[in-house]
Structure 1
């Protein structure tokens, strides 16, 4: 194998490695996911939050102009904000900086089945995800928990830091190839492809982590973690043409369900505690659509 290919593999391994530090606030209960990646430190603290605030303001302004922004007194907006406000108090143990965030939750009229949370707590829900999936409050909480987990774990800064490392690695591969007499364009392309594959895998790691952290937050706020299983079963019913998992930034639905099931023993006691129940007293989670069976625990 040529030297620059080996260097490309090194770039890929650097990009896809977790590089975690100690968890910010260790817990005696709930999920354990380790620390946040040091790669986020390649981006100045707060920089992405400032950018996100400006971008979010533009999105909201454009939605207002297009009459696509849900008014404050609209029932679905009130519903989303009520659920988010129950989750937010449980974010501090995941990221102490979140106490200074100016949280916002807005509903945008769109058929897109999507929602997101920008760095700094800027949340947007598309009406399409509510209408298409017929989300219950528990399922909305799972979605919001997942999205705010991305912000809490600073995945945006992490990805930016990884991208900077990857770009540096590609440049290094080209320089190394040139010194060895190889075609620098071929070397750069090979290293870039390997880095891209590494970034895809890394993005899937982020999604899995957000799923797990979101479950923990939702459960502490009194929302049923089993709703996450039903959520992805619903997604599977409408998403029949997803790309292979290894080519996607999101894990396959079945894998997400398996991961949620794996962590139920950690989060179901939190949910039961929030309601003053024993875990063995919990009734099954009953979906609101046909074709999906109730989810029991244990």
Structure 2
């Protein structure tokens, strides 16, 4: 257990700035807002939106093909995570998982309702996530979809626009042909609240740990994202997903429970798990274009 304890601490908090503030969700009103938009309707709109993103990116030659190693790596990680998502939302059984990787320097990833995952290649090429970090981040984004945070937020918008006559376009997708890689103000400006992030951290860690991704990677993951996106206070990843010292500490506090799930998934005991490098580097690749060794 000594190794796990030393790794759980993950050293002192990284010297990176954090989001100065975060929106608070509407709490008990969340379910009411979600119910304003039926899940099947939102899933259908999300599928249409995803298809438009794919078509638009392909039109301007900014979509990686299914044979690209980036796409293969993501698909394999999602295949590992998906079986553990249904316990959190029965509707997952009907989701048709798809992934698109858009050529862009932007550091961005999101999971649309219905299991449609969009990744901007800057996240993979610039941040250099190891496989555990990628799995943890995918679990986090999937958790946002499982808990229907987007549906709730759009329901809030709908409640404010009662009488308009129709539900607004899901994310206000821009024409990628006319404005390459523009995916609309609503998504770009959608900032999750503290409660949203806590839910996504808890559920995402459960999913990714059971799938065999080391939960200790969450600390190095978010520290890397903070370092890479701290300068962009409007659309930076850590401002869209508020990352504070308190959130970091909460992640560390939950590590013992998640380490037990991870150890079971990889056929070890917590005490025999190897040390996790504080930098997140030098991890053995477990998801590759040739397949998974899990």
Larger-Rg structure? 1
Deviation at 1:61, TM superposition (A): 0.4
C-alpha distance 288-258 of structure 1, shift in aligned 2 (>3 A): closer
Relative contact order, CA 8 A, sep 6+: which one is greater? 2
Structure 2 residue 128 is the aligned partner of structure 1 residue 126 = no
Deviation at 1:269, TM superposition (A): 0.6
Deviation at 1:218, TM superposition (A): 0.4
Normalised to the residue count of structure 2, the TM-score between the two structures is 0.71
Alignment of 1:40-59 (within 5 A): 40-59=34-53
Alpha-carbon distance in structure 1 between the residues aligned to 2:116 and 2:247: 25
Match of 2:67 in 1: 73
Deviation at 1:208, TM superposition (A): 2.4
Normalised to the residue count of structure 1, the TM-score between the two structures is 0.70
Structure 2 residue 224 is the aligned partner of structure 1 residue 238 = no
Q: Which runs of 5+ in 2 are unaligned?
A: 1-23, 163-189, 283-294
Q: Which runs of 5+ in 1 are unaligned?
A: 1-14, 21-35, 169-199, 291-298
Q: 1:233·1:253 contact (CA, 8 Å) conserved in 2?
A: no
Alignment of 1:1-298 (within 5 A): 16-19=25-28, 37-166=31-160, 203-241=193-231, 243=233, 249-286=240-277, 287-289=279-281
Deviation at 1:209, TM superposition (A): 1.3
C-alpha distance 62-116 of structure 1, shift in aligned 2 (>3 A): same
Q: Partner of 1:62: helix, strand, or coil?
A: helix
C-alpha distance 88-234 of structure 1, shift in aligned 2 (>3 A): same
Deviation at 1:158, TM superposition (A): 1.1
Higher helix share: 1
Q: Partner of 1:42: helix, strand, or coil?
A: coil
Q: 1:232·1:256 contact (CA, 8 Å) conserved in 2?
A: no
RMSD value, Cα: 2.7
Alpha-carbon distance in structure 2 between the residues aligned to 1:16 and 1:80: 30
Q: 2:136·2:205 contact (CA, 8 Å) conserved in 1?
A: yes
Deviation at 1:252, TM superposition (A): 2.6
